[in-house]
């Protein structure tokens, strides 16, 4: 430090007068303070999540299963939210009223983006100096003020609701798509689509109508502020289910895989459906209010919106997924796993952004992108990238999921725009239960008319029981809290989410026992019962090195082949599934992955030149030893490596291995 | 869909009038537009990064080494920035001037946080309806307006500069700390600390003084707006180096490990030093302007600030790192790798946030947290968490690094607050070169007086040549662009970064050849020459399963033991390093990890009860087979598993394996 101290005199010499007004310094201090408050908010959530992780460890360690980590996150969130609300000091926000400048020429129909605010600086630095002239500050648009009071805790541990749609939900939804156990998903596609598409719409409509009726009967002043569209919106947002906790217990107890696939698949899709549905309702609202009357065209346009946005988002996601598969097939980027993983993540994120830019629904795009990535791209990836992308999204999903549930808890106390109306809350609980019942029972009845192994009654009860509400409902409810009606919806939704996650989630294993749903399927079927094989399984890690094209052991192929021909889904749905399977295994898989048979064998003769162009040498050369792999792929099953012969007994090394798997299933069997 | 259509009549019946003003709808449309623009901005960067990844693949495939991915990212950024600037349509931002309400009572010394702006809504929905009354909108504070023109491209592909400090830099810096090759780092600690601490301060002072002189000589009007503190700030921000490209080439050509460690270690630390230094200068500025005159106390306070903030941040980071180590040692959370990884990530992020909340420097905390996590916690982690955390931060680092360089390129054209002053730019280039020279040559001379194997002249030239500027300089420069002086600094910094990264980076291998620095060290030393062993190495993946306590093969222990006794750092520095090594291996390692010897053997007798409490059964029981590991740990070397006997020949499986390693070194040998 000698040279530094030696240069003090130099410094002395050079420093000249440097002017800064008192307001500048105060502003700097203010900015620092705001930054510290932001950091503190984040720190609160980080600590809460850390606490949740540690407690969950204790619970798993002591084999406590009546509380899932999401329930725990909610409870911790509630406690800390209450502390912040009642013990924390209020961060004072300063307000000032302003009017447009008298002689400003404005012909704007909307408030401007930026207000240039001329504010007189009152502080004079020292008596000798001239007062600083008025300064101009930029103020950016934030929103309409409806209630002029109750703004003190505006900055307390709350975030812009849009972060849920742009940051928190995408990785959760992508992960759900990426780890979907596609074999059972496709086998139960009919039931899943019925419950998710028809069921969600039906449930939204029923809840919306019933709530509208309830609201009209209420003595409260709230009644006037609800339109039917509002209650319909409430129906749409409360309909999607999020059976995280139930699925965790399913994995643990090895419940029937078809039941698992139905509940998981439905909850993945009904999130997407509810999101698009609520968007269509809002669009309808806009159109309607512009035109000034209810019109059949506006209504049809809303349905068109729904179908159009859903299918276009699906296409965007699937297209990007397939593009990634093509890139990873025809380039050798897999030689550089880091580049490959980066490409994978960037492309998947691009699917979200492209959909958002096109005014579609990014979350839906990201879901189908995830499914395509798992189905095609995953096969082309290097084993390192497979591990890395899975582990990355698993971790992101875990953190995002627990964050959102913590936030639901904290915001119950700190979010300023809650409106507690007991009647509305009671009505909300009753109608959402009824809506779930109307989703499951009538549709199961209809499905059972055409379904070969019908859905038994106790499965139907379990499907009904799995109607927990979660992240998507909350994110939709908090998106818009301008009116009192919307605030009441948010409060009710938060309470429904908290109650279902904590209580229903806690009672799930008892419900299984009460309904006499068989658990503990044979060990041989274990690998099938798990929706998503744990990448952390030591066997696989030890195996990661070997050729990725032959990661299937014969036993797994047998297991996935056997049920297919003889299996459940007879009738038309199975025919559809078989048609799709044929297209997939003869056209898409050979085109997008290195799977056999190559396109040169499956395409008609006149397309041979094209087929040759699209077939890699690897597809030709892998020849016979690629045969096995083709079999397993054509079964639409995610090709997770099965435990392979290894010299080390995992049980010996990792005493907690069985629990590890269970815990991971609990986490990864999520879909929000 | 039958039930839906069947309920249309119900819908018809229920829908009542729903009032929404024209302004509401226009506002919604505006919000949607803004969201789309935001998404588009992100999409631009995502596509740019994807393009960079693909091009880099082509370059690596064709063995082009004169352009590193960061250089490429900058170039692509420049091209797209120019296109956006000159071809894109301008997104019109609407402005309106406002004054405080005439009768508003305000006694604020600073502008308020929120302005409540009463704006008359001019649109009437239909002639029959009553005009909507004035609405009140909230406007939040954004900043002072200095220049009332030139604001059209304000929203174009730019982000809040604070995202660099809060989102982009932390993972980069953490990764640098996490993958620091600690053995060589500690062996060259003296030189690294001298260059990083003294050298950076010296360079900042020299550049600041010279720039001040240059500015005074300039004919431009700019001269008046620069104070000495401004130029000193410029000196501080332009001093940190970022030799990514050079290090990538070093790994590729297997250059001397000590040279590598010096350049890498210095660049890791000088980022931290420069950040704290610039903060101290700003604090000084504040104090100075409040007090109204230059005072020795303010100057001393600035030095105190520097030392205090640096060491406190270091302590916060190290404390959190050690806390994580303790948690991972004394709980069995390692049985659930996902929980463990989540804990690791959350704790590391908490280090950043805690430092920020305490008004320290989060980036510095995160750096030392990363070093501690690698040194202690890493040893306690399950093999899955080791892979996962490394791969996660590697990927984050890669994306963040390339994003920041892309942004430097794009913002050159689209950031509205550039100020091109040719004289200032020329002076900036000259003085920053001179500053680097004054950092290296005199200090090397001083170091060589006490250093056993002196730093040879060609190494000094290479150190000088590695003075590329990068992310930290840019992030500091763009943080504050209020005054013209600061804008000129930003422009100059951007140009210096671009020029050094592209030109100097491209010429690095020629420089190596010209300076006759020996490259291509023997294969046997290869594992030592690599600063960060690639986790993707198939050997390790295949090895991941085995017991983590014995991941060291005898050969690696030999390699790391041999040079230590006989090695370079003789004299006092070596003694200091040996003292630290003793504390570390006898106290800290046994306390924080499962390493042998246990505390019961190393602590004095009267502390035995405490020692017994802090020793795990694993530490006792691993007995003799843990001995080897202890040896390698005490050498302060990150215990990366060496290639172990495996039945598969990696070269056969992965033809691109050698290149893979090189590419990864290029990426991970980064420090920004």
> Hey, are the CB atoms on B49 and A346 less than 8 Å from each other?
yes
Find residues 37-66 of chain B whose CB sits inside 8 Å of chain A. 39-40, 42-43, 46-47, 49-50, 53-54, 56-57, 60-61
A485: pLDDT confidence band, cut at 50, 70 and 90? confident
Q: Does B100 touch chain A (CB under 8 A)?
A: yes
- Alpha carbon B107 to chain centroid, angstroms: 42
| Structure confidence at residue A496 (pLDDT) | 94
B114-119 and B135-144 strand pairing = antiparallel
* Cβ pairs A/B, distance under 8 A: 484
Beta bridge partners of A287: none
CA distance B489 to chain A (A): 18
> Hey, are the CB atoms on B138 and A148 less than 8 Å from each other?
no
Q: Does B483 touch chain A (CB under 8 A)?
A: no
Contact B370, B173 (CB under 8 A): yes
CA distance A207 to chain B (A): 13
Q: From the candidates B93, B137, B158, which should be mutated to test the interface with A, based on the most A CB atoms within 10 A?
A: B137
Q: How many angstroms separate the Cα of A545 from the Cα of each of A542, A549, B105, B660? A: 7, 11, 73, 15
CA distance A642 to A450: 35
Mean pLDDT by 10 residues, chain B (672 residues): 35 37 64 80 89 88 78 90 75 66 59 68 44 62 59 57 86 89 78 90 92 81 77 92 82 82 88 89 72 66 86 94 91 86 93 92 92 89 89 92 91 83 90 92 89 85 90 89 84 93 86 84 39 34 34 37 38 66 81 79 78 76 48 35 38 38 36 34
Contact B132, B470 (CB under 8 A): no
Chain A residues with CB under 8 Å of B136 CB are: 144-145, 148
Q: Does A360 touch chain B (CB under 8 A)?
A: no
CA distance A497 to A514: 23
Q: Does B128 touch chain A (CB under 8 A)?
A: no
> Hey, are the CB atoms on B1 and A201 less than 8 Å from each other?
yes
| Structure confidence at residue A295 (pLDDT) | 67
DSSP state, residue B445: H
Q: From the candidates B96, B206, B303, which should be mutated to test the interface with A, based on the most A CB atoms within 10 A?
A: B96
Q: How many angstroms separate the Cα of A113 from the Cα of each of B34, B96, B97, B140, B457? A: 10, 8, 11, 11, 59
CA distance A461 to chain B (A): 22
- Residue A439 in this model has a pLDDT that exceeds 60: yes
| Structure confidence at residue A418 (pLDDT) | 82
| Structure confidence at residue A548 (pLDDT) | 35
Q: For the CA atoms of A226, A232, A235, A237, what is the dihedral angle to 10 degrees? A: -90
A498: pLDDT confidence band, cut at 50, 70 and 90? very high
CA distance B414 to B156: 6
Q: What's the N-to-C CA distance of chain B in angstroms?
A: 56
Contact B259, B568 (CB under 8 A): no
CA distance B610 to B591: 11
- The H or E element that residue B178 is part of is helix B169-178
Q: What's the N-to-C CA distance of chain A in angstroms?
A: 56
Find residues 288-307 of chain B whose CB sits inside 8 Å of chain A. 288-290, 292, 294, 299, 303
For chain A, percent of residues with pLDDT exceeding 90: 21
Q: Does domain A155-514 have CATH number 1.20.1530.20?
A: yes
Reading the block at residue A20, the tokens are 């800064």
CA distance A526 to A536: 16
Chain A residues with CB under 8 Å of B285 CB are: 18, 20
| Structure confidence at residue B499 (pLDDT) | 92
- Alpha carbon A462 to chain centroid, angstroms: 23
| Structure confidence at residue B302 (pLDDT) | 81
Residue B296, judged by CB atoms within 10 A of its CB (0-12, 13-18, 19+), counts as exposed
Q: Does B441 touch chain A (CB under 8 A)?
A: no
> Hey, are the CB atoms on B392 and A394 less than 8 Å from each other?
no
Chain B residues with CB under 8 Å of A32 CB are: 359
Chain A residues with CB under 8 Å of B98 CB are: 98-101, 104, 115-118
Q: How many angstroms separate the Cα of B559 from the Cα of each of A293, A369, B524, B642? A: 83, 47, 9, 11
CA distance B324 to chain A (A): 11
Q: Does A33 touch chain B (CB under 8 A)?
A: no
- Residue A535 in this model has a pLDDT that exceeds 50: no
| Structure confidence at residue A129 (pLDDT) | 43
Of the candidates A43, A251, A135, A213, the residue with the CA atom closest to the CA atom of residue A668: A251
CA distance B244 to A290: 57
- Residue A268 in this model has a pLDDT that exceeds 70: yes
CA distance A82 to chain B (A): 22
Sign of CA dihedral A259, A265, A271, A273: negative
> Hey, are the CB atoms on A392 and B392 less than 8 Å from each other?
yes
CA distance A286 to chain B (A): 7
Q: DSSP letter string over B576-643?
A: HHHHHHHHIIIIIHHHHSSPSSPHHHHS-GGGHHHHHHT--HHHHHTGGGGHHHHHHHHTT---PPPP
Q: For the CA atoms of B446, B187, B463, B68, what is the dihedral angle to 10 degrees? A: -170
CA distance B360 to B346: 19
Q: How many angstroms separate the Cα of B205 from the Cα of each of A85, A214, B281? A: 48, 74, 11
CA distance B14 to chain A (A): 6
CA distance A629 to A622: 10
CA distance A476 to chain B (A): 16
Beta carbons within 8 Å of A508's beta carbon, 6+ residues apart: A245, A246, A249, A465, A466
CA distance B156 to A337: 33
Contact A382, A340 (CB under 8 A): yes
A114-119 and B114-119 strand pairing = unpaired
Residue B130, judged by CB atoms within 10 A of its CB (0-12, 13-18, 19+), counts as exposed
Q: Which residue has the tokens 């703004």?
A: A151
CA distance B582 to A384: 38
Q: Does B16 touch chain A (CB under 8 A)?
A: yes
| Structure confidence at residue A544 (pLDDT) | 34
> Hey, are the CB atoms on B109 and A123 less than 8 Å from each other?
yes
DSSP state, residue A624: G
The residue-averaged pLDDT of A515-526 equals: 62
Least CA distance to B211: which residue of chain A? A14
| Structure confidence at residue B573 (pLDDT) | 54
Reading the block at residue B586, the tokens are 């006898």
Q: From the candidates A12, A22, A110, A215, which should be mutated to test the interface with B, based on the most B CB atoms within 10 A?
A: A110
CA distance B329 to chain A (A): 13
Beta bridge partners of A140: A114, B140
Q: Does A95 touch chain B (CB under 8 A)?
A: yes
Domain spans of chain A, in order of start: 155-514, 570-640
* Nearest-5° Cα angle at A560, A556 to A565: 150
CA distance A354 to chain B (A): 7
Sign of CA dihedral A594, A598, A602, A608: positive
> Hey, are the CB atoms on B18 and A289 less than 8 Å from each other?
yes
> Hey, are the CB atoms on A353 and B654 less than 8 Å from each other?
no
Q: DSSP letter string over B381-443?
A: S-HHHHHHHHHHHHHHHHHHHHHHHHHHHHHHHH-TT----HHHHHHHHHHHHHHHHHHHHHH
Task: Select from A115, A341, A387 the Cβ nearest to the Cβ of B96.
Answer: A115
> Hey, are the CB atoms on B30 and A110 less than 8 Å from each other?
yes
CA distance A339 to B461: 32
CA distance A360 to chain B (A): 10
Beta carbons within 8 Å of A136's beta carbon, 6+ residues apart: A116, A117, A118, A119, B144, B145, B148
Is residue B516 classed as helix, strand or coil in its secondary structure?
coil
> Hey, are the CB atoms on A339 and B56 less than 8 Å from each other?
yes
Reading the block at residue A657, the tokens are 């291995």
Q: Does A507 touch chain B (CB under 8 A)?
A: no
Chain B residues with CB under 8 Å of A328 CB are: none
Most confident of A13-17, A271-275, A576-580, B35-39: A271-275
pLDDT in tens, B376-386: 899 888 888 89
Q: Which residue has the higher pLDDT, A422 or B20?
A: A422
Q: Does A22 touch chain B (CB under 8 A)?
A: yes
CA distance B623 to B642: 22
ipTM for the whole complex: 0.78
Single pTM value for the model = 0.79
Contact A111, B117 (CB under 8 A): yes
Q: Does A663 touch chain B (CB under 8 A)?
A: yes
Q: Does A324 touch chain B (CB under 8 A)?
A: no
CA distance B227 to B235: 13
CA distance B434 to B442: 12
pLDDT in tens, A188-231: 888 888 899 899 999 999 999 999 888 888 766 667 778 888 88
Beta carbons within 8 Å of A31's beta carbon, 6+ residues apart: none
Q: From the candidates B47, B57, B133, which should be mutated to test the interface with A, based on the most A CB atoms within 10 A?
A: B57
Of the candidates A90, A92, A34, A94, the residue with the CA atom closest to the CA atom of residue B100: A94
Reading the block at residue A665, the tokens are 């299933």
Chain B residues with CB under 8 Å of A123 CB are: 109
């Amino acid at each position: 430090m000698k040279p530094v101290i030696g240069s003090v005199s130099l410094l002395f010499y050079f420093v000249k007068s440097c002017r800064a007004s008192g307001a500048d310094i105060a502003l700097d201090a203010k900015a620092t303070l705001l930054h510290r408050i932001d950091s503190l908010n984040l720190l609160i959530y980080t600590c809460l999540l850390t606490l949740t992780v540690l407690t969950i460890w204790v619970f798993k360690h002591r084999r406590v299963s009546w509380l899932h980590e999401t329930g725990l996150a909610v409870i911790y969130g509630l406690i800390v939210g209450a502390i912040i609300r009642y013990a924390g000091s209020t961060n004072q926000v300063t307000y000032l009223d302003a009017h447009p400048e008298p002689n400003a020429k404005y012909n704007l129909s909307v408030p401007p983006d930026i207000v240039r605010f001329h504010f007189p600086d009152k502080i004079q630095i020292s008596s000798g100096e001239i007062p600083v002239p008025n300064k101009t500050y930029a103020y950016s648009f934030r929103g309409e003020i409806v209630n002029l009071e109750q703004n003190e805790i505006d900055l307390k541990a709350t975030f812009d609701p849009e972060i849920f749609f742009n940051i928190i939900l995408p990785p959760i939804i992508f992960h759900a798509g990426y780890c979907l156990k596609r074999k059972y998903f496709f086998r139960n596609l009919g039931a899943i689509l019925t419950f998710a598409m028809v069921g969600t719409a039906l449930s939204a409509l029923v809840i919306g109508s019933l709530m509208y009726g309830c609201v009209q009967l209420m003595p409260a002043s709230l009644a006037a502020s609800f339109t039917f569209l509002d209650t319909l919106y409430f129906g749409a947002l409360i309909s999607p289910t999020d059976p995280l906790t139930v699925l965790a217990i399913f994995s643990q107890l090895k419940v029937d895989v078809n039941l698992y696939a139905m509940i998981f698949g439905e909850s993945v899709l009904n999130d997407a459906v509810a999101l698009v549905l609520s968007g269509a309702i809002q669009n309808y609202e806009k159109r309607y209010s512009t035109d000034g009357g209810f019109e059949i065209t506006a209504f049809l346009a809303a349905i068109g919106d729904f179908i159009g946005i859903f299918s276009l988002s699906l296409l965007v996601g699937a297209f990007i997924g397939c593009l990634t598969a093509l890139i990873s097939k025809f380039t050798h980027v897999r030689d550089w796993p880091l580049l490959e993983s980066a490409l994978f993540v960037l492309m998947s994120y691009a699917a979200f952004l492209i959909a958002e830019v096109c005014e579609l629904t990014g979350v839906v795009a990201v879901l189908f992108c995830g499914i395509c990535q798992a189905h095609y791209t995953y096969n082309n990836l290097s084993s390192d990238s497979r591990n890395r992308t899975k582990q990355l999204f698993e971790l992101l999903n875990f953190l995002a999921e627990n964050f959102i549930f913590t936030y639901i808890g904290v915001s119950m106390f700190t979010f300023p725009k809650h409106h507690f109306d007991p009647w509305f809350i009671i009505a909300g609980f009753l109608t959402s239960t009824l809506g779930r019942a109307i989703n499951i029972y009538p549709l199961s009845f209809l499905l059972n008319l055409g379904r070969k192994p019908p859905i038994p009654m106790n499965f139907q009860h379990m499907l009904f029981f799995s109607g927990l509400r979660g992240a998507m409902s909350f994110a939709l409810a908090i998106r818009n809290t301008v009116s009192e009606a919307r605030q009441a919806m948010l409060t009710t939704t938060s309470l429904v989410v908290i109650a279902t996650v904590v209580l229903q989630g806690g009672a799930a294993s008892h419900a299984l026992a009460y309904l006499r749903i068989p658990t503990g399927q044979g060990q041989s079927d274990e690998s099938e019962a798990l929706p998503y094989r744990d990448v952390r399984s030591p066997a696989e890690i030890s195996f990661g090195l070997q050729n990725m094209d032959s990661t299937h052991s014969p036993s797994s192929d047998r297991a996935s082949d056997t049920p297919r021909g003889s299996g459940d889904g007879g009738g038309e749905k199975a025919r559809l599934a078989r048609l799709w399977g044929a297209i997939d295994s003869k056209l898409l898989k050979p085109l997008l992955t290195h799977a056999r048979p190559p396109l040169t064998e499956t395409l008609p003769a006149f397309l041979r030149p094209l087929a040759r162009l699209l077939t890699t040498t690897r597809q030709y050369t892998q020849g016979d030893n690629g045969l096995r792999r083709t079999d397993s792929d054509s079964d639409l099953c995610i090709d997770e490596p099965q435990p392979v012969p290894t010299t080390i007994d995992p049980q010996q090394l990792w005493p907690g291995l069985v629990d590890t798997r269970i815990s991971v299933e609990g986490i990864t069997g999520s879909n929000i």
